Amino acid sequence: MCLQTTAQVNYKSREEIPEKYKWNFSDIYENWDAWEADFKAISVDMEEILSCKGTLGESSDNLLKLMTAQENLMKKAYKVYQFVSFQSTVDTRNMDLQAKLQKVGLLFAGFGPVTAWISPEMIAIPEATMKQWLAENKELDVYKFELMDMYRLQKHVLSEELGKLVSYYSQVSETAGSVFEALSTADIEFQEVELSDGSKVTVTPGMYSQITTNNKNQADRRKAYEAIYDVYYKNKNTYAAVYNGIIQSEWANARARNYESCLDASLEGNNIPKDVYLNLIKTVKENTAPVQKYYKLRKKVLGLEKYYGFDGSISLVDFDKKYPYDEAVKIVTESVLPLGKEYQKKLKTATASGWLDVYENPGKRSGAFSAGVYGVHPYMLLNYDETLEYVFTLAHELGHTMHTTLSNETQPFTTSNYTIFVAEVASTFNERLLLDHMMETTKDPKERIALLTQSIEGIIGTFFAQTMFADYEYQVHTMVEQGQPVNAEILTNTWGEIADQYYGDVTEKTQYSNYPWTRIPHFYNSPYYVYQYATCFASSAKLYKDVTEGSKTEKQEALKRYITLLQSGGNDFPMEQLKKAGVDLSKPEAMLAVINQLDKLVDQLAIEIEKIKN
């Protein structure tokens, strides 16, 4: 007889968690003495960098000395920072780790003012001279992409004096974002509500998600929705002032570096054409019919007279199957076989070698991520809870982990770091492979409905919603750049106009419907970031189609191009990397492929729902 046990996921302490489910920090440093040695060595590298001042234009050897010293410093900096950061991530209450993080932060903060001379001195080297040095000194080859790209951005390089001045204001520029964090976390006071069963709960973001996902009573969901949004609504004028401050700071920095707009400043570093951003917004806004069709289907299946935004997470069927972690790893591992046995083998190594921190423990931060340490391996955070959603999260984050692994194995340090513009390609590609695999291997109609819903929600959340956010950011930034007023009323009306274009009259309006802008962290922490979720999703959809459809030879060639993309790190501009892989985001086809994919999935979901009725 075989006994199958479900892994414990509610650990009372980190010590209870088996070692195989926890990060192995010794892969970075054996002990704190080794960490301290590298921490001190960073200062030595900085002295080496400073010794190059005034010499860069004299010879290729002097330039190589600087580039080598910078690389040595950055390799150590990644390790020194991540060794502390990762440990703090799983033990946020450890004040000793917090102190070490501050120590590292202070060290790094001192780099800006004392290295402001580097860019203007490098750009003073004539481009023809640089090309000659690159031809003659082969040791500079690894830096070629970085060195030649600076001439493209030449007009945006500040003088040493201006660079130093702007660096002094960097912390001031970050103040508005810190105010948002304080207002939304430390100083926020969430409201208590009484639900229909008589229980009283404080509606935090986590509790709100729990109620809107699991509570079948629409009145309870509405109470939770009104309670959480009322907190942000009451501070709407403060949020508007904070957001205006952030954009004003961006606009000041963009003008200081001779950019025509904040969008130009955001895109030009990676050589992304502005038309890619604007065409994404236009194409998606003109093709929101599949989203509205999905919400109409949900309204019908749930039997609701009126459908609201807070009804969007409740399950269409009763499905609460649990997926123990080891089973989830097996499922995800099997699902990536179309990417080849070598890819699958590397993924198995990732899940069995102390690269993943799997379970929640007291003091561990929430969420999931994958972060690389060059020369070591990626470290992947989970808070695995055995739900279907987290099986997809596992596949998603393993996509990032494999991308980093392949890049670091293939690229030198200087070109190993891939851009955000391609970062979500591998993760969303893996999710699609997982959907296919699970749909092929399950006959449970409720599980099939749950899988399709998971995929549909992923497309809406990653592609449509992020494009809507990108549209909102563009409109508000344009107002600031044109000297127009920005206040809570204007921000709310702008949101409402865009939402109407996306959702039409499918969802009912409430007092709080147009206030999500108050609580979306990306707007405040990383402006002009979210559009990349959508472009990555479109890219992965096109690549997935190429890898899984067509003749055997066509699929093999597409797979080869895809793996080459993952191996290419940051060795070229991201648009060029994607073109080599078979995706041209300057054309609407990639976006339309996602839109058509969603339309087909909604139709398939409707068919599966009819099956369980009969």
Q: Where are the domains of the chain?
A: 14-157, 325-427+532-587
Residues of the chain with pLDDT below 50 are: 1-7
* Amino acid 456: pLDDT: 95
* Amino acid 399: pLDDT: 97
14-157 CATH pick, 3.40.190.10, 1.20.140.70, 2.60.40.10, 3.40.50.2300: 1.20.140.70
How does pLDDT run across 243-296, given as a tens digit for each residue? 999 999 999 889 888 899 999 999 998 999 999 999 999 999 999 999 999 999
How does pLDDT run across 339-369, given as a tens digit for each residue? 999 999 999 999 999 999 999 988 888 889 9
* Amino acid 400: pLDDT: 97
Q: Please say if 342 is a catalytic residue.
A: no
> Which residues, listed in sequence order, are joined to residue 357 by a DSSP beta bridge?
381
Conformation bin of residue 530: beta by default, left when phi > 0, alpha when psi is -120 to 50? alpha
* Amino acid 188: pLDDT: 84
Conformation bin of residue 380: beta by default, left when phi > 0, alpha when psi is -120 to 50? beta
In the chain, DSSP finds a helix count (H) and a strand count (E) of 28, 5
* Amino acid 366: pLDDT: 82
Torsion sign (Cα): 30, 34, 36, 41: negative
H/E stretch holding 381: strand 379-381
| Contact yes or no for 295/398 (Cβ under 8 A) | no
> How far apart (Å, rounded) are the C-alpha atoms in residues 605 and 585?
29
Question: Catalytic residue among 121, 386, 397, 473, which?
Answer: 397
* Amino acid 184: pLDDT: 83
> How far apart (Å, rounded) are the C-alpha atoms in residues 225 and 509?
13
Question: CA dist 350 to 79, 105, 345, 432, 434, Å?
Answer: 19, 29, 9, 20, 17
* Amino acid 253: pLDDT: 87
How does pLDDT run across 358-411, given as a tens digit for each residue? 999 888 888 899 999 999 999 999 999 999 999 999 999 999 999 999 999 999
Task: Strand 356-357: give its sheet, edge to edge.
Answer: 356-357, 379-381, 369-371
Closest alpha carbon to 485 in 129, 243, 321: 243
* Amino acid 168: pLDDT: 64
Neighbours of 300 (CB within 10 A): 12
* Amino acid 5: pLDDT: 31
- Residue 304, judged by CB atoms within 10 A of its CB (0-12, 13-18, 19+), counts as middle
Query: Cα 326 to chain center, whole Å?
Result: 26
